[in-house]
Amino acid sequence: MDSALTPTYFTALHDEAFSLLVESRDYIARVRAQREQRSLDQSGYLDVTLETMRLTTRLTQVMAWILAQRAVHSEELTPEEGASRAYQLSGQAVCLDNVSGQAGHLPEELRELLQRSYQLYQRVSRLEAQINGRMAAPEGTPERQPSDGTPYLRPVTTSDQNPRTAY
């Protein structure tokens, strides 16, 4: 895929998710090493393991969604296929639970990774809803206009692009 044609927001989102994924991988490797050295007690290790699973679930869902959107952009998938159930974010029950990840007994680094992954998952979820909403809008639906009939200037932000033409 020609990186010059990739929408900036998907590239930035991909880079952020990938960076967080690498940080998480390194953190998990350190936790495993600590466990092997027996420097973590059993209950603490179980809590950390549960939350690292939540972390990896969020990041896996986000990366899969981003890669599907990149496939749409490169015309490997149609916009309709990219918005289909097969490529939607899933695991909301696990991924949107942010209460347990803020428990004070978890290591600070893990809490930070959990919070960042939660915020990333929420952003991607909102973006997905926006794309799906635009895909569901009837063809030819006019742009919003103020009550006085004066048309708005077309926004230049990527969040207002039509997914049919944004890819």
Summarize pLDDT for 74-116 with one digit per residue, the tens: 899 998 898 889 999 999 999 999 876 667 788 899 999 999 9
Evaluate if residue 167 carries a pLDDT over 50.
no
The per-residue pLDDT for 53 is 94
Residue 162 pLDDT > 80, yes or no?
no
Query: 122: exposed, middle or buried (C-beta count within 10 Å: 0-12, 13-18, 19+)?
Result: middle
Taken in order 29, 35, 41, 42, the sign of the CA dihedral is positive
pLDDT digits (tens, 9 = 90+) for 20-40: 999 999 999 998 887 766 666
**Both structure tokens of 111:** 């809490």
Domains of the chain in sequence order: 3-135+159-166 (1.10.8.930)
Condensed to tens digits (0 to 9), the pLDDT of residues 142-161 reads: 555 555 555 444 444 444 44
CB 97 within 8 A of CB 106: no
Asked whether the CA dihedral 50, 96, 110, 106 is positive or negative, the reply is negative
pLDDT at 1: 40
Tally: H helices and E strands in the chain: 6, 0
CB 66 within 8 A of CB 17: yes
Question: Would you say residue 58 has pLDDT above 80?
Answer: yes
Residue 110 to residue 24: CA distance in whole angstroms: 8
